[in-house]
Structure 1
Amino acid sequence: MLPARAGHALQTVFVSDFDVRLAAIAERGLTPAHSETYGNGVRKAIFRDPDGNEIGFGGAPL
């Protein structure tokens, strides 16, 4: 249990169209709070709202 995170959603979705998905999000004026590429080439972009909710999108290597 993580009582300090109560009310703060944390989700990660792995998508096959990572670049297309991020481009569509950018068209809405949103940019990731954080992005990274793991050693195996998997990429992740994290978006956060003012309430502390977080959604991350992951995608396979190019």
Structure 2
Amino acid sequence: MHFGYRSTFHDSISTEVYLHNFDGDLYGENVTVTVHKKIRDIIQFSTAKTLKAQIKKDIEYLE
């Protein structure tokens, strides 16, 4: 889960949650999220590609 400024994309504040093994659309739906632990600090990546690579590492860490 990420809550805050999307520094890699110089974007506004957002809340984003990764749902492992979920393939669906929840836009407009109410969801409840439980945070179990922090994985890492917020990092500004130079490209979307490096961000995707880090997200892959984060998922591998959690598995």
Q: TM-score, normalised by structure 1?
A: 0.22
Instruction: Name the structure where strand makes up a greater proportion of residues.
Output: 1
Q: TM-score, normalised by structure 2?
A: 0.22
